[in-house]
Structure 1
């Protein structure tokens, strides 16, 4: 629907439904809904934690981050210290807002007013890591200048603008009017004037990643709450709609995003929040989620969900994702084939986001955990898809023992959102553990997002992925380094995908490099994977290595075999010498995680080679 919508239709829908007393986010307005949630057992422990957190905040309000904390990103690249202190400051907003909805105790309103006032007193709502984001030189030539860059709207500013606008809409009548007016003034100054009054595009308006979804959706939602003039609102939201069109274009026709499932949830959730709010505002006349492509996008995470709470975590996606069951359940209305994830992966409310927590509590189904497990326990179940546009292939098999066994591989290009140089890389997952694995995201710092530093890191560079090192060359960064999916097929016995990797490397002697994955997954036999690489050089190469990333320590048992727990790697002993390199990594989500680089050195590389490896699951 979003691509067929015209400005005239949009403006007419808003004007025909213009009503000053209109109820928005109706679920949150209903006292009965909050009473049911507050008195039920599902979140009983969470409410206790929220009340304890509220008492702590009332007794000892957190201090805002200092200027020294703010400039750390510019001087050292660190963003964790400032953001952790900021999270503490903002925890009052998210804690007291939930309590105020479910309980009329006056101290919760007092706490909420104080938390909002402190947020309005902040110099900027933009994170230090995003200051000056619109500059072409970002993040350089920002922090050493005499004058600060002009204000922008980043993820954090847009999110807090949406949050504050929604909260005063819901409980503003119980708050001091000065607080309510202050919120409106600050949103107007920090969000609307910066975005709607300045024709210079925001950096994220030019992208197709999670940024336009979070920022544009949040700005649009705040406008719906605060702008009463329907004609003016139509112009404001039309800019938002066009940005969201660009965001959706980043998904292929099968619904995949190269950012992976974690950023799918972050970006697409905000799109869902906005779409449902717009549907209410137009009394159902505009329903952005009723679209075939939206249905495919909604189904994408289902293919990425593996056993034990793991996911297909290519690029900067965490290996484990906690799912907002409220968002999943709401999307089931538009994508009936979407299933609820395993109960062990359900997100629980925290004190870090009113937007996520409110939809989690209000939109989640009332079904029991045991009911949601049934679909995940069906033996002989095969679920797979080849996402042609973004060149991902995912196949999941549940064997007779109830184990989930999965294979995933990717192509694409090496300048994707949250990119890793990982063309031809793959994951092999057995019963809750990704044995052949992706190392995942690194520690988010200024340096990590600068290519000259990023791709020297083992988790982002191709040397830290299960792809070849070609005559000493690793894969290059940039859109000019890409793969072509030259073929694929699916039968009752196998799924096969072929990728041309030639253009992934800036290797002068490389003439041709292809990789074929053949995933044998007949239901009556244990699945196994065969990888066939064919490589051709204009001159005889001096070296050729195959690299495989394992999450378990390899053990050499007999010649030509490496045991990786539930997986055995078979190779030609006479052609390869094996080197095992332990790697310990810190990331945004985990510290000290151990991986192993299996480096197979070809003993006698020649100009034309056909290479095969077999991974058999025990």
Structure 2
């Protein structure tokens, strides 16, 4: 058993990280991207009581969060500027640090009900207003993602730049990190639902908290106690936060998020223990590192099943370090400009991560990796990816999922698929809806973007696929690809759809997707069997692109290619285009999603599309 107390070096010089940043060719690129995203610094937004309570009143998160993250993004920018030699704005850093310390709570309103009084990731809607004993009036006792990140950002700032800052500001930061992070973690850390959770919260919260302790805690006993708790959480995160095949049912966005603080702290622990503790040397990390290559569709575009994002800029320093430490050398080829990070929002507010991007990334964009155009199969995530090309040589990727109806960011989309042609998902996954109060509560699957109505899966006997018990459903279903072929010639994946439906009269439902890599052609075949009378079947496809329909033929008009879709069986079936603009507007999604529905004649038990 590793003895952390004996191996840990209490003191470490900040010079190594500072020197890495100052000599890295990636640092000026990161600085330029931050300056473009944050053109104004010094107008410090205020997080008022009314803003904080807007989530409680309306369910909307954006107004308060934009102010909250803007402060932290400004801090990231001016800290990086000072590290790179601009000494002109120390008072801006002082004022930003002080204003964050003045915040009553660092926990977001959306996460307020996840403290000792609740201890629940998905609290049921309360039946009465807040009383007097709330996160705004009691001593800090709960830590969410962004409280943990705030603690890490403040700790990193005074650790790296403390000798250039006012002593009383540094002392105030230490006091507030102690109050908001250290005391609650040591008192309640193991009680937090996320401490040994199987999702990104584990990696982020434990990692950011561990970083803050390493930077500020001076008592060896307390530091060792805290880091032992962190390592307990980390062990569970790597063991259960990823499937045995290395994939994440949370998707690529949360792979990126969950690992960034894990990697940051892992490398700091390796440094502080003289290499005796090396978390990234674990063999399991290699499969986890390969996952983004399988999820990549084209530069900056990824498979976005569930709540994942389709267009995503991976953190360049974190990805570079993962590639170096695991030997998965294709990873840096997935990088795109840091200008495509979330600007003044969440990404720029992650000071500790932006500093690793500046230190560890060489500022280069290698060629998009060949591995991303290879077939990829994840048996535990139940995802199959097939690659080919059109007769004109345009790349085509078909990716299908059996999936999971009860994950933290899952949708009811068993059997759904994406067809990506020449860099465009002509048949798409529509992505996530608007994160709001109801989004992570029992009404989650009333949101159009989360339920199967917005996915390319059948509606049977008028019923959509059922959610899992985490959000009020009856049963958990972890889908399985029952057959798949990856040999030369046509490739295929067969998915059992039946368990995803709470329809007693449905005896079986199976989908087979066949793919000809030589020409990029796809055949979809669904077969159904009933235990009594025939049931109504409605098939569907979804796309963000314009559609032209003529009976049983539809053309999906991409900007680089046109996808021709034909109903083969039953021959009398026709397409109907449903405009979902209103659902897009409600969820603040740009563009207009079209749902192509196909109502099968009653008695039909076989559907073929090509």
TM norm structure 1 = 0.88
Cα distance in 2 for residues equivalent to 1:230 and 1:164: 21
Pairing 1:593–2:591 present: yes
* TM-aligned CA distance change 1:256 to 1:486, over 3 Å: same
Unaligned runs of 5+ in 2: 470-474
What secondary structure, in the 3-state scheme, does the structure 2 residue paired with 1:337 have?
Answer: coil
2:48 to 58, 66, 73: 66
Q: What RMSD in Å do the two structures reach over aligned CA positions?
A: 2.6
Q: How does 1:214-613 map to 2 (within 5 A)?
A: 214-248=204-238, 249-307=240-298, 309-339=300-330, 340-341=332-333, 344=336, 346-347=338-339, 350=343, 351-367=348-364, 369=365, 372-373=366-367, 375=369, 382-397=373-388, 403-452=394-443, 454-478=444-468, 480-482=475-477, 483-521=479-517, 525-557=518-550, 560-565=552-557, 566-571=562-567, 572=569, 574-584=571-581, 585-586=583-584, 591-606=589-604, 609-613=605-609
What secondary structure, in the 3-state scheme, does the structure 2 residue paired with 1:386 have?
Answer: strand
Cα distance in 2 for residues equivalent to 1:76 and 1:282: 48
Aligned to 1:76: 58
* Contact in 2 for aligned 1:162/1:222 (Cα 8 Å): yes
2:123 to 113, 138, 141: 138
* TM-aligned CA distance change 1:52 to 1:364, over 3 Å: same
* Contact in 2 for aligned 1:498/1:516 (Cα 8 Å): yes
* TM-aligned CA distance change 1:432 to 1:599, over 3 Å: same
The count of aligned residue pairs is: 582
Instruction: Report which stretch shifted further, 319-328 or 146-155.
Output: 146-155
Cα distance in 1 for residues equivalent to 2:259 and 2:548: 42
What secondary structure, in the 3-state scheme, does the structure 2 residue paired with 1:166 have?
Answer: helix
* TM-aligned CA distance change 1:318 to 1:250, over 3 Å: same
* Contact in 2 for aligned 1:322/1:345 (Cα 8 Å): yes
2:133 to 147, 150, 155: 147
Cα distance in 2 for residues equivalent to 1:113 and 1:129: 28
* Contact in 2 for aligned 1:50/1:95 (Cα 8 Å): no
Q: How does 1:5-44 map to 2 (within 5 A)?
A: 6=1, 9-11=2-4, 14-20=5-11, 22-24=12-14, 26-29=16-19, 32-33=22-23, 42=29
Aligned to 1:115: 96
* Contact in 2 for aligned 1:309/1:432 (Cα 8 Å): no
Q: CA deviation at 1:10?
A: 3.4
Cα distance in 1 for residues equivalent to 2:105 and 2:256: 26
* Contact in 2 for aligned 1:580/1:596 (Cα 8 Å): yes
Aligned to 2:472: none
What secondary structure, in the 3-state scheme, does the structure 2 residue paired with 1:314 have?
Answer: coil
Aligned to 1:95: 77
* Contact in 1 for aligned 2:570/2:608 (Cα 8 Å): no
* TM-aligned CA distance change 1:395 to 1:193, over 3 Å: same
* TM-aligned CA distance change 1:344 to 1:221, over 3 Å: closer
* Contact in 1 for aligned 2:203/2:234 (Cα 8 Å): yes
Cα distance in 1 for residues equivalent to 2:587 and 2:458: 28
* TM-aligned CA distance change 1:122 to 1:193, over 3 Å: same
Cα distance in 1 for residues equivalent to 2:270 and 2:485: 40
Q: CA deviation at 1:343?
A: 5.8
Cα distance in 2 for residues equivalent to 1:545 and 1:294: 42
Cα distance in 2 for residues equivalent to 1:348 and 1:109: 28
Q: CA deviation at 1:48?
A: 5.6
* TM-aligned CA distance change 1:50 to 1:388, over 3 Å: closer
* Contact in 2 for aligned 1:166/1:222 (Cα 8 Å): yes
Q: CA deviation at 1:476?
A: 0.8
Q: CA deviation at 1:169?
A: 0.9
* Contact in 2 for aligned 1:396/1:405 (Cα 8 Å): yes
Unaligned runs of 5+ in 1: 1-5
What secondary structure, in the 3-state scheme, does the structure 2 residue paired with 1:373 have?
Answer: coil
Cα distance in 2 for residues equivalent to 1:103 and 1:520: 56
Q: CA deviation at 1:244?
A: 1.7
Aligned to 1:129: 110
Q: CA deviation at 1:87?
A: 2.2
* Contact in 1 for aligned 2:312/2:340 (Cα 8 Å): no
Q: CA deviation at 1:515?
A: 1.5
* TM-aligned CA distance change 1:395 to 1:242, over 3 Å: farther
Instruction: Report which stretch shifted further, 141-150 or 187-196.
Output: 141-150
Aligned to 1:176: 166
What secondary structure, in the 3-state scheme, does the structure 2 residue paired with 1:449 have?
Answer: coil
* TM-aligned CA distance change 1:589 to 1:268, over 3 Å: farther
Report 1 or 2 for greater relative contact order, CA contacts < 8 Å, sequence distance ≥ 6: 2
2:40 to 39, 53, 71: 53
* Contact in 1 for aligned 2:458/2:537 (Cα 8 Å): yes
What secondary structure, in the 3-state scheme, does the structure 2 residue paired with 1:530 have?
Answer: strand
* Contact in 1 for aligned 2:247/2:288 (Cα 8 Å): yes
* Contact in 2 for aligned 1:318/1:589 (Cα 8 Å): no
Pairing 1:189–2:189 present: no
Cα distance in 1 for residues equivalent to 2:246 and 2:272: 27
Cα distance in 2 for residues equivalent to 1:516 and 1:124: 51
Deviation readout 1:431-459 (Å, 9 max, x if unpaired): 1110111110111110122232x212221
* Contact in 2 for aligned 1:139/1:446 (Cα 8 Å): no
Cα distance in 2 for residues equivalent to 1:346 and 1:493: 39
Cα distance in 2 for residues equivalent to 1:508 and 1:139: 29
* Contact in 1 for aligned 2:30/2:357 (Cα 8 Å): no
Deviation readout 1:512-540 (Å, 9 max, x if unpaired): 1122222221xxx2122222222111122
Cα distance in 2 for residues equivalent to 1:420 and 1:80: 22
Aligned to 1:3: none
Aligned to 1:86: 68
Cα distance in 2 for residues equivalent to 1:579 and 1:51: 45
Q: CA deviation at 1:276?
A: 0.9
* TM-aligned CA distance change 1:240 to 1:324, over 3 Å: same
What secondary structure, in the 3-state scheme, does the structure 2 residue paired with 1:577 have?
Answer: coil
Cα distance in 1 for residues equivalent to 2:229 and 2:408: 22
* Contact in 1 for aligned 2:430/2:593 (Cα 8 Å): yes
Cα distance in 1 for residues equivalent to 2:257 and 2:359: 18
